[in-house]
Structure 1
Amino acid sequence: MAAEQTAPSSRLPRALARRVGRDVPAALTRYRVMAWVVGVLLAVLFLVAVPLKYAADLEGPVAVIGTAHGWLYAVFFLTACDLALRARWTLRGTVLILVAGTVPLLSFVAERIATRKTRAGERV
């Protein structure tokens, strides 16, 4: 009886965790892998390739790493959207996570926050 009288906000994480169910762990794993891949490529692009372009006049690394990051960001975008739909993230949280993939090193922070909240059954 007491469990039925709890406030709706206190039941939300458990109800959300039950609703998101089976498909979320696989989607979360895909998202985490892509967040790391995109984050590492973006860090290498900004910390290695761009300085090489301007210091040593080598344009090859920027072209290769930049193109790889662009294509893999598209895959990251799809995996993040898939997870957002399965875990019922808010629109604001989804957009912030997607934007984090375009800022060097921020994708690592966003991945940790998204993972922690999703595993807890909370909305991002």
Structure 2
Amino acid sequence: MDRPVGARLLAYRIFAYVTGVGLVLLVFYAMPMKYIVGDSRPVAIIGMMHGFLYMGYIVCALILAERLRWKPIQALLVLLAGTVPLASFYAERKVTHQIQERERKASQPSQAS
């Protein structure tokens, strides 16, 4: 891997966490408040927040996908993770470990046979 991704990975990780927290709040707090209590304000506020944060998540994920030359299906799965509660946390861990492993392998001196 000849193209470093440090700052891009950090931005992706931040957006993955923030998007995940926003979606958890939307699904497990705001939606019950709307349908059980009848207060739709949390859905309007948290839903809008999650929408804007998800756009940032998409941008960061696509930049990483381009930089790391992901297959389209991998990029799509990472993008969809921002729409499923708790999935963005899983995707973030998976992507981070994948990148760290690639960087570790790239930094090791090659063994000549």
Which residue number corresponds to residue 108 of structure 2? none
1:104 pairs with 2:85: yes
Q: Which of 55, 63, 68 is residue 74 of structure 1 equivalent to? A: 55
Percent identity for Structure 1 against Structure 2: 44
Which residue number corresponds to residue 75 of structure 2? 94
SS at match of 2:102: coil
TM-score of the aligned structures, taking structure 2 as reference length: 0.87
Deviation, 1:83, is 1.0
- Which runs of 5 or more structure 2 residues have no equivalent in the other structure? 104-113
Deviation, 1:98, is 0.2
The Cα RMSD (Å) is: 1.1
SS at match of 1:89: coil
Deviation, 1:84, is 1.1
* CA–CA separation in structure 2 for the residues paired with 1:91 and 1:121: 19
Q: Highest CA radius of gyration, 1 or 2? A: 1
Which residue number corresponds to residue 55 of structure 1? 36
SS at match of 2:34: helix
Letter in 1 for 2:57: F
Letter in 1 for 2:24: A
Count of aligned pairs between the two proteins: 103
Q: Which runs of 4+ in 1 moved over 2 A?
A: none
Which residue number corresponds to residue 6 of structure 2? 25
Deviation, 1:120, is 1.1
Q: Which of 100, 110, 113 is residue 119 of structure 1 equivalent to? A: 100
